Amino acid sequence: MKKPLLILFAFLLLTIFIPRGAMAQYFGDVSNQGAFGGQVLLGSQGLGLEGRYGFTEMLSARFGGTFLPASANNVFTVNGFNSTTNVNAKFYNVHLLADYTPSENLPWLRIVGGAAYLYKAQGVVNVNPAGNYKVANYNISAAEMGTLNIDVSWKGVAPYLGVGFLQAFPSQLFNVNFDLGTYYLNAPQSTIIGTKLLSDNYKLEPQVNSNLKSYRWLPVLQVNFNFKIN
């Protein structure tokens, strides 16, 4: 961990003390004002598209959306309960972000802020009993036990703060840059639906909400493939 931090610190010192003209030979002498571009992004918030407009040499804004569908089977077990589980997650958003370059000597660094509307931010867990169960002197089959569905949602507006690395607009036609930041989500709300012998589990909703109340940060680590349109 220390080595990457030392490299980043050394690079920061170089960008401060090396003349702007020398930096331009590497990064390109880019005119951002009035520039328009598009980008394809790929990362922890999924796959998405954005359009970007440069208001000044230091400030640009981008509008876009992302989607992240994911699913997995048997990622956890319930102690003392023989079952199979299925987890589905869907995070879809539209967002508006602003990128600000704080110094001409740091053309590779951007401060990024804005917000997203998560019109779907949902995790669903399905628990299906397997095998037979013995309760007191009774044998109960999986079919008689029922099923359990736990639905957790973070839907709503989420502010964003982060940093970007490398220039917002390419010096020619194409470049690649990176974003690192986080969304702050609404407090999650759960809905629990059980059938048959598991139907009373809806009473656990307040406890599930309490257990998940700190799960409000959605980290963003993504790579952006940028195209300059004009």
Per-residue model confidence (pLDDT) at position 77: 73
User: Into how many domains does the chain fold?
Assistant: 1
CATH of the domain at 114: 2.40.160.170
Phi, psi of 2 (to 5 degrees): -70, -35
Per-residue model confidence (pLDDT) at position 30: 55
Phi, psi of 99 (to 5 degrees): -115, 125
Instruction: Tell me the pLDDT tens digit for each residue of 92-102.
Output: 999 999 999 99
What's the pTM? 0.80
What is the rounded CA–CA span in Å between residue 172 and residue 148?
55
Instruction: Tell me the pLDDT tens digit for each residue of 149-185.
Output: 999 999 999 999 999 999 999 988 999 999 999 999 9
What is the rounded CA–CA span in Å between residue 222 and residue 44?
6
What is the rounded CA–CA span in Å between residue 96 and residue 64?
7
pLDDT(38) > 70: yes
**38 contact partners, CB below 8 Å, separation of at least 6:** 49, 50, 51, 52, 226, 227, 229
Could you tell me the residue range of the domain that residue 27 belongs to? 2-228
Instruction: Tell me the pLDDT tens digit for each residue of 178-227.
Output: 999 999 999 999 999 999 999 999 999 999 999 999 999 999 999 999 99
The number of residues in the chain equals 230
Per the CB < 8 A criterion, the answer to whether 68 and 42 are in contact is no
